[in-house]
Structure formats: C-alpha cells, structure tokens
Structure 1
Amino acid sequence: MSRDVVVPAGRQALYERNRYSPAIRSNGFLFVSGQVGSLPDGAPHADLEAQVSLAFSNLNAILAAAGCSFSDVVDVTLFMVDPEAIFERVWPVVMSHWGDAPYPTLTGVGVTWLYGFQFEIKVIARLPESSHPPAAE
C-alpha cells in the first residue's frame, strides 16, 4: 500500500509546525485532515460565516493539489462547537459550497473544543484515475 502526502501551495510550514499531513493519497482515495477557517498564519478567522467559508477554501486547495474537486468527495464529517447555537448560521454557508447531487455522505458531530475554531470539515474523496501517483518500484 502506497501513501503519498498532498500539501497545498503556501501551507507547508503550517503543517510541518503542527506535524501532520494535510492529506494522504492511498489506494484510489484521498483522506483529508480536518480543515478549519484558519488564516495563513494558522489563526482562526473571527467571523463565524467567514470561518466556515475559509475552511472550505482550505479544503478545496488540498483537493485541487490532489487533482480533485468537492464533486469527488464521498464522505464528510463536520465538527461544530455548540451546534445548537451556530447551526442556523453555518448550514447556509456549507450548502453554498456543497454542489449538486449525488451528495456525499455526512456525519455531523457536536464538540466542545476545536483549538479556538468553531467549525471543522474532514473528508474522504475518490481520486480521479488521472490523479493517482505512479506505483513505487
């Protein structure tokens, strides 16, 4: 089984500092670490709706670096701090990035802490055939 790390342009230092991979390509799938609405320095965007939109922008940058788009996403997990209080504000922003049917599967999780963020999105995408890295010899 091969594992190939995918890092979007301009974010390498952030991932190295935090010691995790933004995404791993393996066996025809892309496993993307949870993405938050972080600014280039890693700090959270102060506005909730902007934070959600920025999380999608960060996610889409990783998907693009792997040769994918959100239409290749098959599974989504959303994490929200205090979802009862923020859901009505978050959901329209999520839907504006969601795309057309068929939709991915979805699991929503309420959490108490996200390192200063209020929203995080984690996905698994199916890699288009053209984006599979060559097998290691």
Structure 2
Amino acid sequence: MEPAPVFDAPLPADLAAPGGHYSHAVRAGGFVFVAGELPIAPDGRKLNQEPFEAQALQVLANVAAALRSAGSSIDRLVQVRVYITDIGHWPQFNAIYAQWAGDARPARAVVPVPLLHHGFLLEVEATALA
C-alpha cells in the first residue's frame, strides 16, 4: 500500500504562506508536487503590477523554495507547466527559465490563458522527484 501524501513540508522564510486551502508542495509516491506558484513575494506582497520579468523571477524563486521545503530541488524536476496570459512573453520567459533551470530539462508545457488571479501574468506548477 502506498504511503499517504505528506503535507507537512515546512514553510521556508523565502515563501509566503498559501493564500488558500492548499500546500505549496506535497510529497507522495516518490514525487514532489508543487502547487501553481504565483508572483507573490515572501512577505505576501503581490507583484501583479510589476513588469513581466520581475513576476517571472519571483514565480521561479517560489517554485525553487517549494521544492526545497519538500526536500527536492530544480535538478530533480520531471515536469513543469507554465500558464501565461500573453504568449508574446514566451521568448522572455523561456530565456529566464533556461538560466534558472540550468542543466535540468524537465518535460514542459506552456498553456496560454486569458486571465489569472489578481491580474498576474504567469503561474507555474511543477513535479519533481522527492
């Protein structure tokens, strides 16, 4: 029988508390599942009025922090899904992402969406090995 999911990953200082009834990261079945991360600073400040680059950097920092909190890391990523409100930002995001991910090359999808919560420009969710 598979062990139950682990929801007790500690909240690191570099990640804001969840804004709803969810965990930033959950360990289950040898994987870490990272919730859709938004451009929210560790102090809870929403970066929805910031330029795209600032939002992208914060989202990726949040993904990395969530992975660390669950005992994983960027180099253990297996899948990343990016929700983006303007596909015109994709080349810029891809360049930022490539630098952030380094040698990691997880499966990835981009999903153009019309709107995101609070007017954010992107959201990223991920799965990694625990």
- Which amino acid counterpart does residue 70 of structure 2 have in structure 1? A
Question: Deviation of residue 104 (structure 1)?
Answer: 0.6
Q: Name the structure 2 match of 1:27.
A: 29
Could you tell me how far apart the structure 1 residues matched to 2:70 and 2:16 are? 18
Could you tell me how far apart the structure 2 residues matched to 1:42 and 1:72 are? 28
**By percentage of residues, which structure has more helix?**
1
Please, what TM-score do these two structures have when normalized by structure 2? 0.85
Q: Name the structure 2 match of 1:93.
A: 96
In structure 1, stretches of 5+ residues that fail to align are: 128-137
2:111 pairs with 1:121: no
| 1:1-137 alignment runs, 5 A limit | 1-5=3-7, 6-10=9-13, 14-15=17-18, 17-39=19-41, 40-45=43-48, 46-83=50-87, 85-101=88-104, 103-115=105-117, 116-127=119-130
Q: Tell me the SS of whatever aligns to 2:17.
A: helix
Identical columns (%):
27
Could you tell me how far apart the structure 2 residues matched to 1:12 and 1:105 are? 24
In structure 2, stretches of 5+ residues that fail to align are: none
Larger Rg: 1
Q: How many residues align?
A: 124
Q: Structure 1's 100 and 47: CA in aligned 2 closer, same or farther, altered over 3 A?
A: same
Q: Structure 1's 122 and 13: CA in aligned 2 closer, same or farther, altered over 3 A?
A: closer
Q: Does structure 1 conserve the Cα–Cα contact (< 8 Å) formed by 2:14 and 2:65?
A: no
Could you tell me how far apart the structure 2 residues matched to 1:32 and 1:65 are? 10
Tell me the C-alpha RMSD between the 2 structures: 1.9
